[in-house]
Structure 1
Amino acid sequence: MHDILSHYRNDGYAIIEDFFSASEVEELRHAGEEFTKNLPDESERTIFSTTKSEQASKNYFLESADKVRIFFEADALDENGKLKCDSSLALNKVGHALHYLHPVFRKYSFDERIKEICFQLGYQDPVIPQSMYIYKNPGVGSEVKSHQDASYLYTEPLALTGFWFALDDATLENGCLWMIPGSHNGGVHRRFIRNPDKESKELLVYDRSEPIYQKSAFVPVPVKKGSCVLIDGLVVHRSENNKSNLPRHAYTLHVIEQQNTVYSPDNWLQPTNDYSFPSLYRNN
């Protein structure tokens, strides 16, 4: 564990191989695939994309902190919401309260192994603000643009870690993660916030223009099924389209420190009057 934490602190990410067993991966994967068999009505289908901004104008996305919401790939739907591909390939992701509302994802999100890593990282009272099942399906799995997770889940002082679990082998061909090692030392480059202009149709906006990162600075992070990738909230990362005929499913969650920190009130994702982000150490 010492070497893993050292790598995480030096480079902004680290790989833990065989974090979940084959049977645990299968249980998570089966739970994710179940969502493809019970899709929302055509009129309620919403696309998620990091290269387009449809979700920025919809409460369906904005109000998902305490809900399980289904998001489609841009190329999976026609203008009327009808499927252009098989339902098993249509979803981009499901989020953002899987860790709290779904029994399978809750079991693994509050796993003792995750608690131990957070303890080793020095978290005093970590909470889980969001979780996602990401599909990245063959042929239609879309690009995730270069970003920092802290752009979306900002705290002062910053204390954010992502746990990214590979439920398939993640390769160069099917859209593995790419990182800029050491980029977690450069602060937050921009933030995705609730629009202060209440008259605008855009409910969410970026506070600054998109940074430009040299492509040569990124290194690929291919991992085997069952691996966990720890991701510092400030490290710049991305993933490319799935151009292969193999899936690249993943489950991911984020942890933030609650003790002596302030969760920004203009973050896109907010707790509600009836729902607080659940404590990692105090929930089962």
Structure 2
Amino acid sequence: MSAVDLDAWRRDGFLVLEDFVAAADCDALQARVAELVAGCDPGLARTVFSTRDQGHAREAYFRESGGAIRFFFEEAATDRPPAEALNKIGHALHDLDPVFDRVSRQPRFAALACQLGLERPLLLQSMYLFKQARIGGEVGWHQDAAFLHTRPSTVVGFWMALDDADRDNGCLLALPGGHSGPLRQRFRRQGESMVTDTLDATPWPAVEPVALEARRGTLVVLHGLLPHASAPNRSARPRHAYALHLIDGTAEYGADNWLQRPDLPLRGFA
């Protein structure tokens, strides 16, 4: 990153870095996902992923996905073939699939994590996001630190555009500077259940949302406290993306975080 990039990161809580992901890597991820989807059991009980009601959190299939590769479907597509119905695949692609491992652990990502101030970056979570044409669901305003909580807060998101993302097909939206505010909620384990605690009822900042339009190959970097969202995709174009979340190994990762990996230790970029 340049000094200008660093200033923008500190001010806004996000960066849009064009041409950061090679076209060959975008191709490789999309081709590998096509293989994974083709191998998806058509008789699989379809766990729907929705940020609207968090109903998926009641299912063990979701709760135990932190150290696995699992398939989650759109609410509006439970009767469609998987290739047209998936919401996302998660949450350990970067550790369990060799193609995702190679792309996720490139030196330029490691260097960027270092520039962002992560002393001992660990790759915690990965998601392949489909945002299907015409049915891709809305993702409401949230902070990643609500779901991936450390003390102090250290989570950073690397969001890679594998298709062109714009206002028509549900690109990311952000509230610039909103990362300077408090963490509003925590989504966590409570026994065998998941609960959402309100930590601070302060409204989101009264600033105009910014559409983070991104051409294929762009990397969007998101601060863990930045409020962000995405609109539904009602266009005829899908909006595939790959999201990777990092934390600092020097911070405390709570045992009550929803994402746990008892049989899969966290790794850095090596």
> Is the shorter-chain TM-score for this pair beyond 0.5, marking a shared fold?
yes
Alignment of 1:136-151 (within 5 A): 136-151=131-146
1:271 to 247, 252, 261: 261
CA distance in 2, matches of 1:163, 1:139: 25
What's the CA shift string for 1:7-37, capped at 9, x where partnerless? Answer: 1111000011001122221111111222321
| 1:163 aligns to 2:153 (yes or no) | no
Q: Secondary structure at the match of 2:76?
A: helix
CA distance in 2, matches of 1:10, 1:163: 18
Q: Which residue of 1 aligns with 2:244?
A: 253
| 1:231 aligns to 2:222 (yes or no) | yes
Change (3 A) 1:147 1:271: same
Q: Which residue of 1 aligns with 2:18?
A: 17
1:243 to 234, 248, 261: 234
1:109 to 69, 82, 104: 104
Q: Secondary structure at the match of 1:229?
A: strand
Contact persistence 2:145–2:225 (CA under 8 A): yes
Shift of 1:123: 1.5
Q: Which residue of 1 aligns with 2:49?
A: 48
Q: Which residue of 2 aligns with 1:204?
A: 194
CA distance in 2, matches of 1:250, 1:43: 23
Q: Which deviates more, 240-249 or 212-221?
A: 212-221
CA distance in 2, matches of 1:212, 1:186: 10
Identity %: 39
Shift of 1:205: 1.2
CA distance in 2, matches of 1:157, 1:213: 21
TM-score w.r.t. the length of structure 2 is 0.94
Q: Which deviates more, 118-127 or 140-149?
A: 118-127
CA distance in 2, matches of 1:220, 1:43: 36
- 1:139 aligned partner, one-letter code: R
CA distance in 1, matches of 2:97, 2:66: 13
- 1:111 aligned partner, one-letter code: Q
2:208 to 217, 225, 232: 217
TM-score w.r.t. the length of structure 1 is 0.90
Contact persistence 2:42–2:82 (CA under 8 A): no
What's the CA shift string for 1:52-94, capped at 9, x where partnerless? Answer: 22211111111111110110111111xxxxxx23432110000
Q: Which residue of 2 aligns with 1:80?
A: none
Change (3 A) 1:211 1:225: farther
Q: Which residue of 2 aligns with 1:36?
A: 37
Change (3 A) 1:183 1:214: closer
Q: Which residue of 2 aligns with 1:194?
A: 189
Q: Secondary structure at the match of 2:65?
A: coil
Change (3 A) 1:215 1:223: farther
Q: Which deviates more, 173-182 or 216-225?
A: 216-225
Change (3 A) 1:179 1:258: same
CA distance in 2, matches of 1:16, 1:164: 10
Q: Secondary structure at the match of 1:70?
A: strand
What is the aligned length?
268
- Which sections of structure 1, spanning at least 5 residues, go unmatched? 78-83
| 1:70 aligns to 2:74 (yes or no) | no
Shift of 1:43: 4.9
Shift of 1:129: 1.1
Contact persistence 1:49–1:74 (CA under 8 A): yes
- 2:127 aligned partner, one-letter code: M
CA distance in 2, matches of 1:195, 1:149: 19
Shift of 1:211: 6.9
Contact persistence 2:176–2:207 (CA under 8 A): no
CA distance in 2, matches of 1:214, 1:137: 30
CA distance in 1, matches of 2:265, 2:253: 12
